Chains A and B, each alone.
Chain A
């Protein structure tokens, strides 16, 4: 009730309750009054009848005339409510009776003779009225004195009249009265209820409308309004609520607009790259999923390109991040300009971009990608007073019915891009399943941590492999290449080809090279101290990344300045690829090192870009022919020709040639026949730990 009463119930209650209470009280009063009146009236009537009947019966009693009495009683009994009448003599003898009646003997009951006596029963009243003698004067003179005894004997009471009246009529009319009054009350209450309902409705309808509107507003329907019904308090309330709702609605609309804008911004930000405005990796992956789905379900052909800038790191490192960002921005704008309608270009992060070419055959895709690549190649980035050229390596993968997941596609494209980079940059490589590069690439990330751990835990070791003269002449100089090995957890040695690619990709090479240089210098110092008899040339590899790092170069120079006597004992093997990136810098470095008597070798020549122009410009002493050619030299005339050509050119340029990967005597014989100056390989000398080089003193 607190259950809660509604306002309508309250109003109706307020209107009806007083009526009900007053009605009940009045009814009670009326009924009790009416009942009292009826009872009183019955009593009064009965007393009157008894009082009149008593003298009327005097004669009959006095005369003993029962017939007269009977007549009298019959006349009396006609009166309503009378159940019976009877007449008794003064000694209790019943002289006459009419109707029913249960009588007592008035004489024995010793009723007082002076008045009418009443005996009450629940449903009847019995009256006994004394019959007294009426005195009438007959003598004009009191002739004789009446003796005292005489007057005592002469009592005036001569009998009784009994009158029994029924109260049933009273009770009946009492019931009738209650019933009627209840009906009137009910009718009155019904009318009151109806009127209260009508009046209450006038009051509650606007309030309920208000309540309804307010709850609708509370539920968020801010367009809900109350219909104004008047000017009174309710009117003020209604207008107030309407005003409030309108205000709320306006505010909500504004807020919604702001939220929409912010949401759109967030959505945009979530799906776009902040710098270039291209879509980001996340969004791109989703589009890729959709595209993949269409390929899988509808058999369409699409192409995915993974694009990596070739010289971004150089610009970023030499000119700062602002320049890098600016380069990315300009390239993005340019690439966007070349997009077809259905193409999707995204920046995946760093200098990596992705291009999704929908409904595009691989042939067309290759053309499109080549347009992109060539555009980038033509592009010149100007920063302050410097101008840079950049290239772009593109890995491409076809999206067709046979494609795996989107993640697979992306990693395949990445792998292809890596291959493209690895193959000399600024080119497009179409992914092939048999790409062994892929496996290597996939292991890179693990290697990063292992390399760092190996550096920290001193697990790196140097092995030595002798580079001998092809003619077998020992000569006065011992030529040794120091090879890097990593000690695995199980104690086995890991070859550098396993972890160097990861180290190159993730810029660990300078650290590794520094370690190698330091070890080499230490070794060299000790070797010189122990065995000065034979001149020994220690060859170490320098990666492109190390060469590019100014700090590394300065440190190396500083070390040589400290130990100038070691210069003639050091030979630095650099790859063609490493040199190409910064030809000018590398040449400067080579010049500086040569001052100390250091010698240089161009490593792995023949693979990669293998440009004779670079060869011409690089001032090296040795030219190491790539093992890929040497390996099959016995069976492959082309390889043999290549080796011969390289050897001849090297000789023409005044370089000493070295053949790697000499695994058999047959190869050695051929090389000897060709005239290659030096050979290196398991057939000549297998790598050995440093201990074997100069004993424990070298360690």
Chain B
């Protein structure tokens, strides 16, 4: 039995990463450490060169990143898949369908995106004076406007959004939004915020003295006044917890896809000083966001 169990444990969880970059490695390390402590066996693989046989033994597969999930979706493997570090919009629109393979495979996800209400609450906590929140949306995400408006309303925040058509210049709609709002909320969308557009967007917002609420530590570093996000280890921790619970049962049952449970707030003090904002500390904000929830 020991051999069987050992063997069973050894093949129980496979972690497929999009690539070997640091964030994915960190996620993997956290999951493995936590599962290993619970007696589970963890193996790793990368999206590139992935073959079905290597995953046959796994009872559960964790896909880290979009490309890992994409890679898995093309395999005939039937083990349940937990996708982590994937944008919610992608998962709902593309990922779930592909991974579930017509219902033959159990799929769940921990989104990369923070829940909108959490973001709304952060805005409220950080900018008590704020009335209206501006958002730039690409055509693909226009649908998000409604959800946002709903999430903001409890916090007595109005939404002002502008849609940016493809190839259109960002600055003009941005200025239009900024002129009428107090805070610019950045939504993860490669067509809006990317390496190339970031500086202009930030500079424009500064000119309007509107703070940007970002979605990653990088954005805080790049010039967002405050950002709300989950770190790879926090994602890994949640994934490990979910995996552990799922493996405990006779059959593997994953919870429904959800936003990250653990999160972090970072503040760019220099930007705060430049724009004349005085915010509560990061820890304070994290605590208050957790409490409310």
Q: From the candidates A59, A133, A137, A141, name the one contacting B23 in the complex (CB within 8 A).
A: A141
Q: Is B164 an interface residue (CB 8 A)?
A: no
- Which residues, 191 to 228 on B, are CB-close (under 8 Å) to A? 193-196, 198-200, 202-204, 214, 216-219, 221-223
Taking the nearest CB of chain B, how far is it from the CB of A628, in angstroms?
175
Chain B residue contacts of A65, Cβ below 8 A: 171
Q: Let me know if A148 is at the binding interface, CB within 8 A.
A: no
- Assuming the contacts A63-B203, A135-B196, asked whether A144 and B171 have C-beta atoms less than 8 A apart, the reply is no
Q: How far is the CA of A141 from the CA of B65 in the complex (A)?
A: 8
Q: Are A136 and B195 in contact (CB under 8 A)?
A: yes
- Are B66 and A63 in contact, CB atoms less than 8 angstroms apart? no
Residues of B within 8 A of A63 (CB): 171, 200, 203-204
Task: List the A side residues contacting B204 at CB < 8 Å.
Answer: 59, 63
A224 to B218, CA, bound (A): 109
Interchain CA distance A65-B169 in the complex, whole Å: 12
Give 1 or 0 for each of A132-159: 1 = CB within 8 Å of chain B CB.
0111111111111110000000100000
A-B contact pairs, 10 of them (CB 8 A): A63-B200, A136-B198, A137-B195, A138-B214, A138-B219, A139-B216, A139-B218, A141-B21, A143-B188, A154-B196
**Is the CB–CB distance between B112 and A143 below 8 Å?**
yes
A145 to chain B, nearest CB (A): 6
Report if B87 contacts A (CB, 8 A): yes
A654 CB to nearest chain B CB (Å): 192
Complex CA–CA separation, A134 to B223 (angstroms) = 14
Residues of A within 8 A of B186 (CB): 138
Q: In the complex, are the beta carbons of B203 and A143 less than 8 A apart?
A: no
Q: A63-B200, A135-B195, A138-B218 are in contact. Are A143 and B171 (CB under 8 A)?
A: no
Q: Is the CB of B200 within 8 A of A138?
A: no
**B residues whose Cβ falls under 8 Å from a Cβ of A:** 18-19, 21, 23-24, 65-67, 85-87, 90, 112, 169, 171-172, 186, 188, 190, 193-196, 198-200, 202-204, 214, 216-219, 221-223, 229, 232
- Complex CA gap A549/B12 in Å reads 198
Q: Which residue of A lies closest to B186 (CB)?
A: A138
* B47: nearest chain-A partner, CB-CB: A145
- Bound Cα distance A352, B112 (Å): 173
Contact status B171-A64, CB under 8 Å: yes
CB proximity to B under 8 Å, residues A36-86:
58-59, 62-65
Closest 6 CB pairs of A and B: A136-B198, A63-B171, A140-B216, A135-B195, A62-B200, A136-B222
Q: Does A137 contact B218, Cβ atoms closer than 8 Å?
A: yes
Q: What chain A residues lie within 8 Å of B169 (beta carbons)?
A: 64
State which of A59, A64, A136, A144 has its C-beta within 8 Å of the C-beta of B66.
Answer: A144
A143 to chain B, nearest CB (A): 5
Decide: A137 and B171 in contact? CB cutoff 8 A. no
7 further A-B pairs in the complex, CB-CB below 8 A; given A59-B199, A64-B171: A63-B204, A64-B172, A138-B198, A138-B214, A141-B24, A143-B86, A145-B67
Q: Of all chain B residues, which has the CB nearest A134?
A: B199
The answer for the CA separation of A141 and B90 in the assembled complex, in Å, is: 15
Q: Report A-chain residues with C-beta under 8 Å of the C-beta of B202.
A: 136
Please pick, from A133, A139, A144, the residue contacting B67 in the complex, using a CB distance under 8 A. A144
Task: Report yes or no: A62 in contact with B171, Cβ–Cβ below 8 A.
Answer: yes
The answer on a CB contact under 8 Å between A138 and B112 is no
> Would you give the shortest CB distance from A539 to chain B, in whole angstroms?
180
| Minimum CB–CB distance for B185 against chain A, Å | 14
Assess the B112–A141 pair: CB atoms within 8 A. Answer: yes
The smallest C-beta distance from A676 to any residue of chain B, in angstroms, reads 189
- B222 engages A138 (CB within 8 Å): yes
CB distance from A141 to the nearest CB of B (A): 5
Question: How distant is the Cα of A140 from the Cα of B24 in the complex, in angstroms?
Answer: 11
CB pair A138 B195 closer than 8 Å: yes
